[in-house]
Amino acid sequence: MNFLSYLINGISLGSVYAIIALGYTMVYGIAKMLNFAHGDVIMIGCYVTFLAMSGQGIHPLAAVIISIVVCTLLGIAVEKIAYKPLRRATPLAVLITAIGVSYFLQNAALLLFGADTKSFSSVVTLPALKLADGALTISGTTIVTIAACIVIMVALMLFIKKTKAGQAMLAVSEDKDAAQLMGVNVNATISLTFAIGSGLAAIAGVLFCSAYPTLTPYTGSMPGIKAFTAAVFGGIGSIPGALIGGILLGIIEILGRAYISSQLSDAIVFAVLIVVLLVKPTGILGKQIHEKV
Amino acid sequence: MAMLEVKNLEVHYGVIQAIKGISFEVNEGEVIALIGANGAGKTTTLQTITGMLKPSAGEILFGGQDISKIPGHKIVSMGMAHVPEGRRVFAELSVYENLKLGAYTRKDKAEIAESLARVYKSFPRLEERKNQLAGTLSGGEQQMLAMGRALMSKPKIVLMDEPSMGLSPILVEEIFNIIREISAGGTTVLLVEQNAKKALAIADRAYVLETGKIVLSGDAKEMMNNDSIKKAYLGE
């Protein structure tokens, strides 16, 4: 019964990673860049939710919506100000800029919100589910997290498959010039991708802080890096890959913490990444990209 | 008034000048061939017209309006489609999804369905393979898809870049027949080709481009009998 409970917790943590990994993987797919500031958008989202709930006494759901709006705008602004001028620059320049944005957001948070640890109260008020005569307890946060992940995945798949904007995103990620020849506004499509990724980061952040309720300006970096690992694990650029990579990573982390060593759980996660990259460099669902001449 | 008029166009790649002040015009209903060797600037010219490249000087008038400063994605809805060199179909999308993207700028669903039916009629093989991923099509089928996709925007003029490239002689024949049909359907065609013989055979007029300059222009049939053209481009 313990194993089952660990497994469910793993899936729940993995769901958070998967939602964050979506942001990495979509932005990578479309802009061919690793947005290392993505994790810090999560942290900003958490602070916005925290301040709205504890400071203003706003209903948790409304606080989450405010946080989504703020993060979406932040994502668009970061893309416009920091990344768009580098559209034709070398990948290294973009990568270093992303790391710079990450430090900027962390230090801005330090300045705005202070260095002290805030204790985040869960936005989920759902009671825990007790199964098998109380031998298995699943917290409300866990249930909501897994449900949110499923809803987001299905909605995103439908959006991409069924809407014009979604098809434009696929077209731009495959061939920007050809997409433009179809009349697709490439810059607007890239903005939209950042907007969606950042909005999802806000949701992931709130769910993460509901499960692990300490909030500092550095809260976003670890889940950010792990979600990046999950995206690479699943095959960067692939949306189903982000889901599979995220869930597997969450399960590995929780089981590693439970059965091997709680101190080594992070090391185990990253060791898995190294092994995956050695065996299958493109990740589980990744495809070999052939450069066309 | 010419439908498309290029005036003293110059294009640079960094410090290298690829197009050195060319002027030409395309009238409504015409098939115009732009021929020349590799590196003459044919593709650069087309890419500049549809806004993929920015000119360093000159004007591009489409229906009397200068489009050289209009963002590329807005040019499609003005009635200009571009079948790019190398087809550039979206390999990860189905044939049907590729065609739908061709109609990206259009809103009227009934009209789009009508265009789709027309494309399927011209290219029955695309309808047979509508659910197949474009990347799995043969070269000839991909070329048909690229042309069909361009027609989905209901263009007044289609720019075609090397549609016969890499295709077998039978397919080349088929592709040129389709270009003839497109023209007969009332769409103006600006054709860039290395296969000068075929291009001159279906064109009304032609321009010869050599290292960024137009060196010769005139009636396509007359050009076929021009000795220097024969020697340089027709291999006779």
With a cut of 70, say whether residue B115 has pLDDT above it.
yes
Contacts of A171 in chain B (CB under 8 A): 90, 93, 101
Q: How far is CA A252 from CA A6, A18, A245, A273, in A?
A: 10, 14, 10, 11
Contact between B201 and B194 (Cβ < 8 Å): no
- Judge whether residue A292 has pLDDT over 50: no
Which of residues 73 through 102 in chain B touch A, CB cutoff 8 A? Answer: 73-77, 81-82, 84, 86, 88-93, 97, 100-102
Give the pLDDT score at A152.
97
Inter-chain CB proximity B73 and A185 less than 8 Å: yes
pLDDT at B232: 79
User: A74-80: long-range contacts at Cβ-Cβ below 8 A with a sequence spacing of 24 or more?
Assistant: A74/A41, A74/A44, A74/A198, A75/A41, A75/A194, A75/A195, A75/A197, A75/A198, A75/A199, A75/A201, A76/A191, A76/A194, A76/A195, A76/A198, A78/A37, A78/A41, A78/A194, A78/A198, A79/A190, A79/A191, A79/A194, A80/A191
What is the rounded average pLDDT of the residues B112-134?
A: 95
Average pLDDT of chain A, as a whole number: 91
Q: Are B224 and B200 in contact (CB under 8 A)?
A: yes
pLDDT tens sequence across A34-49 = 999 999 999 999 999 9
Of B147, B204, B187, B192, which Cα lies nearest the Cα of B171?
B147
Q: pLDDT tens for residues A219-268?
A: 999 999 999 999 999 998 899 999 999 999 999 999 999 999 888 888 98
Strands B65-66 and B80-83: unpaired
Is the Cβ–Cβ distance between A249 and A233 less than 8 Å? yes
| Average of per-residue pLDDT across B63-70 | 94
Check CB contact of B108 with chain A, cutoff 8 Å.
no
CA quadruple B116, B119, B121, B126: dihedral, nearest 10: -100
Q: Which residue has the tokens 């939209």?
A: A192
Mean pLDDT of B64-86: 95
Check if the beta carbon of residue A39 is closer than 8 Å to that of residue A220: yes
Q: Is the pLDDT of residue A293 over 60?
A: no
φ, ψ of residue B149 to 5 degrees: the values are: -60, -40
Residue in the block written with tokens 């731009």: A172
**What mean pLDDT, rounded, does chain B reach?**
94
Alpha-carbon distance of B213 to B209, in angstroms, equals 5
State the Cα–Cα distance between residues A212 and A119, nearest whole angstrom.
9
- Cα–Cα distance, A16 to A243 (Å, whole number): 10
- pLDDT for B39: 87
Torsion from C-alpha of B118, B119, B125, B131, nearest 10 degrees: -110
CA distance A179 to A282: 25
In this prediction, residue A129 carries a pLDDT of 81
State whether residue A286 is helix, strand or coil: coil
What is the Cα gyration radius of chain A?
19
Is A183–B77 a contact, with Cβ atoms under 8 angstroms apart?
A: yes
Q: Which of B47, B101, B151 to mutate to test the interface with A (most CBs of A within 10 A)?
A: B101
Given 3-state DSSP classes, what are the helix, strand and coil percentages for chain A, each rounded to the nearest 5? 75, 5, 25
| Of B91, B102, B104, Cβ closest to residue A174 | B91
Query: Quick one: pLDDT band at residue A288, thresholds 50, 70, 90?
Result: low
Stretch B19-33: mean pLDDT, rounded? 96
* Total number of residues shown for chain B: 236
Q: How many contacts (CB atoms, under 8 Å) link A and B? A: 63
Beta strands in A120-234 (DSSP E): 129-131, 136-138, 214-215
Give pLDDT, residue A265.
Answer: 87
Number of neighbours of residue B62 by Cβ within 10 angstroms: 23
Pick B4-233's CATH classification: 3.40.640.10, 3.40.630.10, 3.40.50.300, 3.30.230.70: 3.40.50.300
Q: Give the mean pLDDT of A263-274.
A: 88
Beta bridge partners of B57: B10
Chain A residues touching B91 at Cβ < 8 A: 174
pLDDT computed for residue A62 by the predictor:
93
Write out chain B residues lying below 8 Å of A186, CB-based. 73
**pLDDT reading at B18 higher than 60:** yes
pLDDT at B184: 95
**pLDDT at residue number A154:** 95
Percent of chain B with pLDDT over 90: 89
Which of B112, B92, B91, B87 has its CA nearest to residue B102? B112
- Kindly state the DSSP code that residue A80 receives in the 8-state scheme: I
B50 interfaces chain A, CB cutoff of 8 Å = yes
pLDDT exceeds cutoff 70 at B174: yes
pLDDT of residue A25: 94
- In DSSP terms, which residues pair with B123 in a beta bridge? none
pLDDT of residue A291: 45
The mean pLDDT of A60-73, rounded to a whole number, is 95
Angle in degrees, CA A60, A65, A71, rounded to 5: 120
Tens-place pLDDT, residues A138-172:
899 999 999 999 999 999 999 999 999 999 999 99
Q: Which residues of B touch A168 (CB under 8 A)?
A: 101, 104
Residue B236 pLDDT level (bands cut at 50, 70, 90): low
The secondary element (H helix, E strand) that includes residue A109 is helix A91-113
Distance CA A110, CA A217 (A): 6
> Residue A174 and residue B92: Cβ atoms within 8 Å?
yes
Q: Mean pLDDT throughout B208-235? A: 88
Q: Give the strands of the sheet with B213-219, arranged side by side.
A: B80-83, B157-161, B188-193, B31-35, B205-210, B213-219
Average pLDDT of the residues in B188-192: 97
pLDDT of residue A282: 86
